Structure 1
Amino acid sequence: MSPFLLTDIEAAVRSSWDAETCTPEYRSRWTPANPARDQCGVTAMVLNDLLGGELIRGEVHVDGRQTDYHWWNRLGRGVEIDLTREQFGPGEIVVGGEVIPRPAKLGRLREEYELLRSRVEEKLRRG
């Protein structure tokens, strides 16, 4: 269990997002006007580090077609936390949600995850 309040963790995460922490192939579309955009995978992993629980992955659909995946967290008793849900526009719908085992080794988003995690940890240490 984390020694930090969820509100403190949320503030640290949200203030740590930028283009360098988002999914690299979508970095060009990241803007401060929508800071949660393409931050879901790394955010879910950092929250999993701090709070435990399960990683959940759903599909993003546009006009009935899958265009991407979306990640969030489920804690005990079925409580779900999704700090990046607001990234989606009106035509983007998240469907489903299955538990995905945490990867033993991060590949594709390792640098972005490590950067976000270090920023969040630093902010939580400083209080």
Structure 2
Amino acid sequence: MEEIEEKILELKKALYKSWSIDTSSKWTRQNPAKGQCGVTALIVNEMLEGDIAKTKIQGNWHFYNIINGKRYDFTESQFETPIEYNNTLSNRSEVYMNTNEKQYTILKQKVLKNVTYHF
């Protein structure tokens, strides 16, 4: 497995373990990815670089990452139907409007505790 793919898999596992009500007010045990898209896209962007993209879903922006030309949406499981991605490029400033510093800091600290790979 390519090194970037190993990092992505490691980060994905860490994110799933790290999401909580403290990282999104929409989080539930039944749907831990709910409301996590913005804060997750920021963490992934910081750790693996690449681009942040967005797609409109039910009138709201949904954020995810593009790394080496491939789309990675770690929070797609929050939706019951498949997403029709249009990959509109976004930026960190826009995504920060979808979260807050407290949620971002908490998720980053939890993720860093849950990864074994050096980012």
**TM category, shorter:** 0.7 to 0.9
CA distance in 1, matches of 2:86, 2:72: 15
5+ residue gaps, structure 2, are: none
Q: Secondary structure at the match of 1:32?
A: coil
Residue identity over aligned pairs, in percent, reads: 27
TM-score by length of 2: 0.81
Structure 1 residue ranges, 4+ long, deviating more than 4 angstroms after superposition: 92-95
Out of 6, 9, 19, which is 2:8 matched to?
A: 6
5+ residue gaps, structure 1, are: none
**Contact 1:60 1:95 survives alignment (8 Å):** no
**Rg larger for:** 1
| 1:32 match | 29
Answering whether residue 90 of structure 2 is matched by residue 100 of structure 1, we say yes
**Contact 1:70 1:94 survives alignment (8 Å):** no
TM-score by length of 1: 0.77
Computed over aligned residues only, the root mean square deviation of the Cα atoms, in angstroms, reads 2.7
| 1:122 match | 113
- How many residues align? The count is 114
| 1:16 match | 18
Q: Name the structure with the higher strand share.
A: 1
Answering whether residue 77 of structure 2 is matched by residue 86 of structure 1, we say yes
